[in-house]
Amino acid sequence: MTDNNEADLTGTTPRRRPKPDIMEIGGRRLKPATLMMGHGYDPALSEGALKPPIFLTSTFAFESAAAGKRHFEGVTGIRPGGSEGLVYSRFNGPNQEIAEDRLAVWEDAEDALLFSSGMSAIATALIALVQPGDVIVHSAPLYAATEGLIGKILGKFGVSWLDFPAGATAEEIGAVIEKAKGIGRVAMIYLESPANPTNVLVDVEAVVARRDALFGEGADSPPVLIDNTFLGPLWHKPLAHGADLVIYSLTKYAGGHSDLVAGGVLGSKALVDRIRLMRNTIGTILDPHSAWMLLRSLETLELRMTRAGENAAKVCAWLRDQPQVEKVVYLGFPENARQQDIYDRHCAGAGSTFSLYLKGGEAESFAFLDALKIAKLAVSLGGTETLASHPAVMTHLSVPAERKKALAIGDNMVRISIGCEDADDLIADFEQALAAIG
Ligand SMILES: *Cc1c(COP(=O)(O)O)cnc(C)c1O
């Protein structure tokens, strides 16, 4: 968290600094699972409270006028690097800063920012990086609200876009970037992997290689952004594969209990600072209470995701052998050699969200969904509880029929996010629900 010590600048009595964090022991670098319990927080600064209090305050008292001036130079970007102290809760706060420090640990990111939702993280990042006349190159499909933001909202401000299918080859990706270069300044390459609900992985390494081949080290080289909500931060760490900014809906696996809405952006300090300035201006920061909840969630992130991933592997292996099932589209069963190759190079696990295609149509899907006893019928994913939904009539209802067909969002498709329950109990639930199809 921000070090609020201004003694050297102001000559006032120094405030106590947080104890330096212990990041390694005897040359052994501590793992994220360990750092989640204390990184970025010193109990001595909060009356010894083992857990950080929730700082319900809209503003922070300055040590001196000079300290206030210096903090504002940081907040407004007059001095790069953000504020060195706590200023006003639209800019920063202790709960948010501790959670940001801990989130950054998972991907070894230089810096991280929290937002009031995944969409406000995406919107703030995009608005910070585009100007009229720019082109955004993106993988397709994207989360529907992200596609709407790029196509409909940024379009109003003279920003255009070109896309390539998520599973495109390096050559295909390169051709699209090259075409975009001929249209205007390429503001960014925006990815989402795996694509939802097709579960197709994007070759991030190929995107970065093509970008570098086309732009070199030039100042006009567009940053690669990636929405890592479905696999991060445990199973996919795109910064390690050359992406510049990773974006999250922390509402999903990171929050993990279906009880908060939050977003995050991780990356280099230089890029994150540009987005921070926009967040400071428009106020898309997460509130302290949700930041505290997120902090609690991060302590069990590895446990939860590991368990959910193991459960999903077991459930999917069982599901695909059932007579009522047409196919299971799950990252653990790559659909072709190219997807297998991308998976092997990028992923440490197959996640716990997949698509189940039943034999039949809407009636069969509805019969299955309505019969579930453990799995809840709800959209969203990444929570401790198993959720099931029907994309064609729910999340993707407004997608035109042709596009639905191209994305294989059929009436017989059920989307499932596996949670942390007992895997055999889940299988028992799916078994009786499949039997209920009749
Ligand atoms: C849910 C989701 C979002 C939006 O996040 P919110 O927290 O709901 O605003 C963005 N991208 C992906 C991939 C998502 O699943």
| Cα–ligand 1 centroid distance for 405 (angstroms) | 23
Per-residue pLDDT tens digits for 263-311: 999 999 999 999 999 999 999 999 999 999 999 999 999 999 999 999 9
Residue 14 has pLDDT above 60, yes or no: no
- Which residues, judged by CB distance below 6 Å to any ligand atom, belong to the binding site of ligand 1? 117-119, 143, 192, 196, 227, 229-230, 249, 251-252, 261, 263
| Cα–ligand 1 centroid distance for 122 (angstroms) | 9
| Cα–ligand 1 centroid distance for 143 (angstroms) | 7
Query: Tell me, what's the pLDDT at 17?
Result: 62
Helix (H) / strand (E) element for 430: namely helix 423-435
Q: Rg (Cα) of the chain, in Å, rounded?
A: 23
Closest protein CA for atom 6 of ligand 1: 118
Closest protein CA for atom 15 of ligand 1: 229
Q: Measured on CA atoms in the order 283, 284, 287, 291, is the torsion positive or negative?
A: negative
Query: Tell me, what's the pLDDT at 13?
Result: 44
Cβ atoms < 10 Å from Cβ of 284: 23
Closest protein CA for atom 2 of ligand 1: 249
Query: Tell me, what's the pLDDT at 125?
Result: 98
> In this structure, which amino acid lies at residue 296?
R
By mean pLDDT, which of 30-44, 76-90, 204-218, 418-432 is the weakest? 76-90
The residue whose CB lies within 8 Å of the most ligand 1 atoms, and thus the one to mutate among 115, 116, 119, is 119
Query: Tell me, what's the pLDDT at 4?
Result: 46
| Cα–ligand 1 centroid distance for 230 (angstroms) | 9
Residue 245 has pLDDT above 60, yes or no: yes
| Cα–ligand 1 centroid distance for 323 (angstroms) | 33
For residues 372-384, give the mean pLDDT: 96
Per-residue pLDDT tens digits for 129-139: 999 999 999 99
| Cα–ligand 1 centroid distance for 353 (angstroms) | 14
| Cα–ligand 1 centroid distance for 222 (angstroms) | 23
Closest protein CA for atom 11 of ligand 1: 143
Closest protein CA for atom 7 of ligand 1: 118
The proportion of the chain whose per-residue pLDDT surpasses 90, expressed as a percent, equals 87
Query: Tell me, what's the pLDDT at 76?
Result: 86
Q: Which atom of ligand 1 is nearest to the CA of 142?
A: 13
| Cα–ligand 1 centroid distance for 389 (angstroms) | 16
Cβ pair 357, 392 in contact under 8 A = no
340 Cβ neighbours under 8 A, 6+ residues apart: 334
3 state SS for 254-319: CCCCCCCCCEEEEECHHHHHHHHHHHHHHCCCCCHHHHHHHHHHHHCHHHHHHHHHHHHHHHHHHH
Q: Give which of 99, 113, 86 is closest to 39, Cα–Cα.
A: 99
400 Cβ neighbours under 8 A, 6+ residues apart: none
Closest protein CA for atom 8 of ligand 1: 118
Closest protein CA for atom 1 of ligand 1: 249
| Cα–ligand 1 centroid distance for 415 (angstroms) | 15
Closest protein CA for atom 4 of ligand 1: 118
Q: How confident is the model at residue 381 (pLDDT cuts 50, 70, 90)?
A: very high
Query: Tell me, what's the pLDDT at 11?
Result: 39
Q: How confident is the model at residue 10 (pLDDT cuts 50, 70, 90)?
A: very low
For residues 331-349, give the mean pLDDT: 97
Please state, in angstroms and as integers, the Cα–Cα distance from residue 98 to each residue in 7, 52, 111, 298, 406, following that order.
22, 9, 12, 11, 43
The residue whose CB lies within 8 Å of the most ligand 1 atoms, and thus the one to mutate among 251, 353, 395, is 251
Query: Tell me, what's the pLDDT at 1?
Result: 52
- Quote the tokens at residue 43: 């109990």
Is 143 or 218 the better-scoring residue by pLDDT?
A: 143
- Quote the tokens at residue 101: 């420090």
Query: Tell me, what's the pLDDT at 398?
Result: 87
Q: Which atom of ligand 1 is nearest to the CA of 263?
A: 7
Largest Cα separation within the chain, whole Å, is 79
| Cα–ligand 1 centroid distance for 251 (angstroms) | 7
- Quote the tokens at residue 68: 């206030």
For residues 40-61, give the mean pLDDT: 95
- Quote the tokens at residue 252: 């999903």
| Cα–ligand 1 centroid distance for 148 (angstroms) | 13
The residue whose CB lies within 8 Å of the most ligand 1 atoms, and thus the one to mutate among 198, 252, 286, is 252
For residues 360-380, give the mean pLDDT: 97
Query: Tell me, what's the pLDDT at 324?
Result: 98
- Quote the tokens at residue 224: 């690669």
Give the separation between CA 336 and CA 205, rounded to whole angstroms.
18
How open is the CA angle 26-32-35, to the nearest 5 degrees? 70
Cβ atoms < 10 Å from Cβ of 166: 25
